[in-house]
């Protein structure tokens, strides 16, 4: 059981390294300029990785020699993999965007509340993440269109919620001539100004960072 727990800790860390979002949620700054891969190909790679780990789990550990908690951990891991395999044929039956989930629902909140900017490199990573989120939205849109072509569409009220959330991302400056700033643009300005005030950057660098965020 002790070996099993160590094995799980190692595999959990490997899993974490594939999720820049989760690393940030945990207050870690590895892969700070990246976000999770939201493609269907990434999901297939994850399931293939889990398959390899299941084989390793079965070959390295004797289930009968585990204590009760060890058996629970083992069973949960196996169950998660089996559910993944069972659900693979239904991958195009998922709703990609709903009012309760989807990148449009948490992108701004994630950058504003979880992506802390203490140094110049943090703000440069923030700007790269804006680009990455834009690319992820495009990837997810293609997936949603594929699912819709197969007749899988969320109900109308879900569309309405998604449209409202997505529109909020691009409402205000710099997306339009407006007296008010969009949430992300306002946040980017606050974070750059804080670096400037703290003496971490000079005026020229502040202008560049804001220009990059705006673009």
Residues 206 and 192: their CA atoms lie apart, in Å, by 6
Is the whole-model pTM more than 0.75?
yes
Q: What does the pLDDT look like over 49-108, one tens digit per residue?
A: 999 999 999 999 999 999 999 999 999 999 999 999 999 999 999 999 999 888 998 999
Over the Cα atoms of the chain, what is R_g? 21
Range 157-169 burial, b when 16+ CB lie within 10 A, else e: ebeebbeebbeeb
Structure token pair of residue 87: 């659900």
Measured in whole angstroms, the distance separating CA 86 from the mean position of its chain's CA atoms is 24
Q: Alpha carbon of 38 to those of 58, 70, 74, 161: distances in Å?
A: 29, 32, 27, 21
Is omega for the bond preceding 56 within 30 degrees of 0, making it cis? no
Band (pLDDT 50/70/90 cuts) for residue 177 is confident
Which ranges constitute the DSSP H helices of 116-173?
120-149, 156-169
């Amino acid at each position: 059981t002790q070996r099993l727990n160590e094995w799980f800790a190692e595999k959990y860390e490997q899993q974490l390294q594939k999720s820049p979002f989760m690393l940030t949620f945990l207050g870690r700054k590895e892969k700070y300029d990246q976000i999770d891969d939201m493609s269907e190909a990434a999901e297939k790679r994850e399931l293939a990785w889990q398959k390899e780990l299941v084989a390793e789990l079965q070959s390295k550990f004797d289930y009968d020699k585990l204590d009760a908690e060890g058996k629970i951990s083992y069973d949960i891991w196996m169950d998660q993999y089996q559910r993944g395999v069972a659900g693979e044929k239904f991958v195009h039956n998922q709703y990609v965007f709903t009012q309760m989930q989807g990148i449009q629902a948490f992108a701004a909140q994630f950058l504003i509340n979880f992506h802390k900017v203490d140094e110049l490199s943090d703000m440069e990573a923030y700007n790269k993440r804006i680009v990455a989120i834009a690319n992820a939205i495009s990837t997810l849109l293609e997936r949603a269109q594929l699912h819709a072509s197969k007749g899988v569409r969320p109900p109308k009220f879900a569309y309405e919620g998604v449209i409202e959330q997505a529109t909020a991302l691009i409402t205000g400056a710099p997306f339009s001539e407006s007296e008010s700033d969009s949430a992300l643009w306002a946040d980017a300005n606050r974070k750059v100004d804080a670096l400037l005030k703290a003496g971490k950057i000079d005026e020229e660098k502040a202008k560049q960072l804001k220009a990059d965020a705006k673009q």
